[in-house]
Amino acid sequence: MLVQPVAHTTEGTLRGRLDRGLAVFRGVPYGRPPVGPLRFAAPVPPERWDGVRDAFEFGPVVPQSGPLTAEPTTGTDWLTLNVCTPDPGTAGLPVLVWIHGGGFMAGTAGDPLYDPTELARAGLVVVAVNYRVGAEGFALLDGVPANRAFLDQVAALEWVRRNIAAFGGDPDRVTVAGQSAGASSVAALLTMDRARGLFRRAVAHSVGGNLATPALAAEVTAALAKQVSTAPTAAALAEVDPWRLAAAVTELNATLPEHLPRWGRLAQTGVTTVPVVDGEVLTEEPWTALAAGRAAGTELLVGHTRDEFRLFAVLAGRHGGFTEPEARAALDQLAPRPAGPDAYRAALPGATPEDLLTAVTSDALFRMPSLHLAEGNAAAGGTSYLFELAFPAPGMDGLFGPCHGLDVPLAFGTLDSPSARPFLGEPPTPETVEVSRELRQAWIDFVTTGDPGWARYEPQQQLTRVLDAPSETVRYPEQASRTIWAGQGPTAFDLT
């Protein structure tokens, strides 16, 4: 008869389940429900419990915004995490803490795309974290902390520090990892004083450049409050149902073209609730802090896909249909000033409007923030390993190319998960399986030893692993973009 695994944490005893030979604990609280008096507050440690608490089911989904969102769920115990371990009775296993993406407005740690089975079978303890997104996590409000989502992530890392030994993990061998908004979170954590000492290494895929100044964030909050007919204060918005407020974020995102003259780059990106460079939780742009020596470097694995923007163009039904005025607007808003728009046209002679729009949007939102994080970390004394995913998604006749998000199922080995199938096809091709194996092994090796298996990135040689079938290590492949953005790292979005 199989025995259910048990872990003794500082808050109480947990009972998990055996799943395919692994011990799995789900819906573990690392903070109290952020509702009622704790709405918009910094996370508060969870209450202790007596007896044994079942950790069988994922925690409730955090209120979601955006075009692809989860259905509202009951329960407000949103600050939970999941642990998957090869053996809770052992000691010293390396730990991977996963922070999901979702544009700062959606996502959940229980997504099948993040199934930790393959990584845990390789000897990692995998922790996946839920955190507040949208207005709950990022709206700038009076009298409460900014960037509450980052504070949630710090609280989760503190829980890992206290408790991961009870699951067989080593609290001194923690790697924090994320993709897209999760990678932006990792970048922020690299430079936050309150996260110091909570992790040893970091993995960041497609680091987002979406940050806002307090002035811009305050206007977004005012517009959000108008959507729900209340005042733009913490007290007033706390009276609004969290799922209604999340819907208001979706509604506000849909009006962004109207705000383009005032909100500029933020309106161009299509997402309103983004991290704020507030001077306290997040003191400055992460790449600037690292490059200027105001944060210590670490062991960092960072990269991006070749055609980041392709995903959004296809999902919006616009692939192949962007116009010259749209390309001009994207260049004017997103390219580094003053010479960036002309530099893109000179670097891409004969490019179509779609080529130009795709290049500058991919660079501004993901590729250059990723590159500058690698270079900033190296400048701060850390060790950076850089990659570009060039392998094109084989599903749907190659429509998606090497797009944003393709790296996630490849790294986790979740090639047959429902959301991966349209990209990777059924069944996955042998080439897909091989690229997945290489990227997943790079994660495992990096989390375990600090070395993913290729040469480190140095600004002089710029050695970069290009993941494809076959892969190769070459000089950074996006040289035109690197030159255009040289000395002009991404800056926080501001009012125009």
User: What does the pLDDT read at residue 68?
Assistant: 66
Q: CA 226, CA 219: separation in Å to the nearest integer?
A: 11
- Residue 450 contacts residue 383 (beta carbons within 8 Å): yes
In 11-146, the DSSP E strands lie at 13-15, 17-19, 22-29, 52-54, 80-85, 93-99, 125-129
Nearest-5° Cα angle at 190, 189 to 195: 50
Question: What is residue 176's three-state secondary structure?
Answer: strand
Provide the strand spans (E) within 20-101.
22-29, 52-54, 80-85, 93-99
What backbone phi and psi angles, to 5 degrees, belong to 360? -70, -35
For range 254-265, the mean pLDDT: 95
Angle between helices 181-191 and 368-379 (to 10 degrees): 20
Quick check: is 259 catalytic? no
Residue range 459-487, pLDDT digits in tens: 999 999 999 999 999 999 999 999 999 98
Q: Which of 404, 471, 478, 481 is catalytic?
A: 404
Give the model's confidence band at 72: pLDDT under 50 very low, under 70 low, under 90 confident, else very high.
Answer: confident
Active site residue 404: yes
Tokens representing 442 are 């790079």
What DSSP string runs through 248-307? HHHHHHHTHHHHHHHHTHHHHHT-----B--SSSS-S-HHHHHHTTSS---EEEEEEETB
For residue 2, the model assigns a pLDDT of: 58
- Residue 19 pairs in a beta bridge with 22
The model's confidence at residue 1, banded by pLDDT at 50, 70 and 90, is: very low
In whole angstroms, give the CA distance from residue 284 to residue 491: 9
Mean model confidence pLDDT for the chain? 96
Question: 221: closest CA among 211, 231, 213?
Answer: 231
- Quick: pLDDT tens for 211-258: 999 999 999 999 999 999 999 999 999 999 999 999 999 999 999 999
% of the chain with per-residue pLDDT over 70: 99
Q: 17 in helix, strand or coil?
A: strand
pLDDT digits (tens, 9 = 90+) for 76-114: 999 999 999 999 999 999 999 999 999 999 999 999 999
CB-CB neighbours of 171 under 10 Å: 16
- 319 catalytic? Reply is no
Q: What is the pLDDT, as a whole number, of residue 157? A: 98
Residue of 11, 308, 354, 478 with catalytic role: 308
Lowest mean pLDDT among 70-84, 159-173, 196-210: 70-84
Q: Reading across the β-sheet that carries 472-475, which strands appear in turn?
A: 17-19, 22-29, 80-85, 125-129, 93-99, 169-179, 201-205, 299-305, 383-389, 463-467, 472-475
- As a whole number, mean pLDDT of residues 343-358 equals 96
pLDDT of 436 strictly over 80? yes
Tokens found for residue 281: 């939780």
- Tell me what pLDDT residue 67 has: 82
Q: How confident is the model at residue 71 (pLDDT cuts 50, 70, 90)?
A: confident
pLDDT digits (tens, 9 = 90+) for 361-375: 999 999 999 999 999
- Options 65, 180, 206, 362, the catalytic residue: 180
